[in-house]
Amino acid sequence: MNTFFEYFPTVFQALNEGFLQTLKIFIVTLLGALPLGLIISFGSMSKFKPLFAVTKTFVWIIRGTPLMLQLLIIYYGPGIILQENVWGQGETGRFIATIVAFIINYSCYFSEIYRGGIQGVPHGQQEAGQVLGLSKSQIFFKITLLQMIKRIVPPMSNEIITLVKDTSLARIIAFQEVIWAGEAFLKASNGVPSAIWPLFFTGIYYLLFSGILTILFGLIEKKLSYFRS
Amino acid sequence: MAILEVKNIEKHFGKTEVLKNISFSLEKGEVLAIIGSSGSGKTTLLRCLNFLEIASSGSIEVNGETVFGKDIKLTDNIMRKNRLHFGMVFQNFNLFPQYTAFENITLAPKLALKNGAETAKKSVEEIEKFGEELLKTVGLFDKRDFYPCQLSGGQQQRVAIARALAMQPDILCFDEPTSALDPELTGEVLRVIKELKGSDRTMIVVTHEMNFARGVADKVIFMADGVVEEIGTPEEVFSNPKSEKTKAFLAKSLENI
């Protein structure tokens, strides 16, 4: 037990550093995938057949294969094909490859959520705006946008909480996020079984973080509960 | 001069002809009821007047001004301006759920004021005063700050009528305004429409309520298969129909009562 309290400060610091990297993946992925997902959703609703087909196929491939595999292909693929490291050296290179894979993957999932939100607003809302002489942009910003947001908050919160946990997949290309940091103690222990606790302890970080997000999304849902659409 | 002159309107969806050579006119203050079975083209005709559908050919004049015809180039702006001659009340109300009754009514006039449209009221105060008057007209002043989800279907439809009136259209159109309502709620909506007739409003009502059409309308059109099968006063159409189709339709409609 003594060793636990002896090691705790060291472990805590290492895990905090790892979690900071986890947070970095999380935030940068959201910043990239939220807007990119909207663009992809327009493609998947396009009446222009080739664009529609290309987008649908792309979304199918990305959603139909594991994120871990995509991460490996994106990180190692260019090096194998071009005989050149396009991602840059060391931790920075691994980070860039990670967020490229995450942004592509998550924007495809987000695009489907956006599509559901946009197509879920009854067409009658748009027509009611039209007959009152509103312009297309007024109809979008004053009428449909908020109804869309209300519709996408629950599925979006679900997906974003999944993202919190998916960040751990970056471990597969040795990016030093929180799981990697926890595992490092196990590896350095030469097989002492009790050294696994830092890895288990990382669970607390995920729990706390997803807990905070759950509360946050709950507040947004509550804020939008004054109307039903 | 007629307030509305519809001439030879045709509408196809692909190869399907939905409206064939529709012509009629309406005087200011007149109420026109359009009856007929589902799929006869009644709603499409109304939607063509509001530019929710664009007719394939023909012309529409309001107060002598051509708002639709082969010489009119329908840009977005012209369409937005021309459709304001008509107000529209939908079967499913289509109120904006995130706005209160009062906000639903005043939203469009306020946006028009902001855009500097010529039809607009001159100030926000004037718009709000008019909005409150309209709420009183439809008997819902006490529901001013209620959201649509807090109102009954009949109340929602009355708000929708006030919302359409807020843009001061020349002609107010109703697309089966009571079809989505429970039977006990249709009365309050029909009463409001009837009262509007008293204030000299020109209205077109697509309806399945035969008693209402007979009691309130000045003119009745019976449509079948995309054509105006019969047009006349309620007495002419209901008591003395000339067309076989009208007779069959009326016999069926009355059977249900």
Give the per-residue pLDDT at A6: 79
Inform me whether the pLDDT recorded for A96 exceeds 60.
yes
Within a domain: A228: no
What's the ipTM? 0.91
B214 touching A, CB under 8 A? no
Give the per-residue pLDDT at B257: 55
State how far the alpha carbon of B104 is from the alpha carbons of A40, A147, B100, in Å: 33, 15, 6
State how far the alpha carbon of A156 is from the alpha carbons of A70, A114, A173, in Å: 22, 9, 27
User: For each of chain B's 257 residues, which pLDDT tens digit applies?
Assistant: 789 999 999 999 988 999 999 999 999 999 999 999 888 999 999 999 999 999 999 999 999 888 898 888 888 888 888 899 999 999 999 999 999 999 999 999 999 988 877 766 778 999 999 999 999 999 999 999 999 999 999 999 999 999 999 999 999 999 999 998 888 888 999 999 999 988 889 999 999 888 889 989 999 999 999 999 999 999 999 888 888 889 888 888 877 65
Give the per-residue pLDDT at B117: 74
B95: which chain A residues are within 8 Å (Cβ-Cβ)? 128
State how far the alpha carbon of B174 is from the alpha carbons of A107, A227, B86, B185, B190, in Å: 43, 26, 10, 16, 11
Domains of chain B: 29-42+91-255 (3.40.50.300)
Within a domain: A229: no
Best residue in A121, A126, A130, A131 to probe B by mutation, most B CBs within 10 Å?
A131
B171 touching A, CB under 8 A? no
B95 touching A, CB under 8 A? yes
User: B194: distance to nearest CA of chain A, Å?
Assistant: 22
Give the per-residue pLDDT at B119: 64
Inform me whether the pLDDT recorded for A2 exceeds 60.
no
Structural domain span for residue A61 = 2-223
CATH number of the CATH domain containing A218: 1.10.3720.10
Outline where A167-196 has alpha helix (H): 178-188
Answer for the pair B173, B49: CB distance below 8 angstroms, yes or no.
yes
Distance CA B86, CA B88 (A): 7
CB contact under 8 A, A131 and B96: no
User: A123: distance to nearest CA of chain B, Å?
Assistant: 9
Q: What is the pLDDT of residues A143-187, one digit of tens each?
A: 999 999 999 999 999 999 999 999 999 999 888 889 988 888 888
Nearest CA in chain B to A223: B98
Number of domains within chain A: 1
Q: List residues bridging with B211 in a β-sheet.
A: none
Distance CA A184, CA A145 (A): 47
> Which among A124, A150, A226 has CB closest to B94?
A124
> Which among A127, A134, A229 has CB closest to B111?
A134
B84: which chain A residues are within 8 Å (Cβ-Cβ)? 133
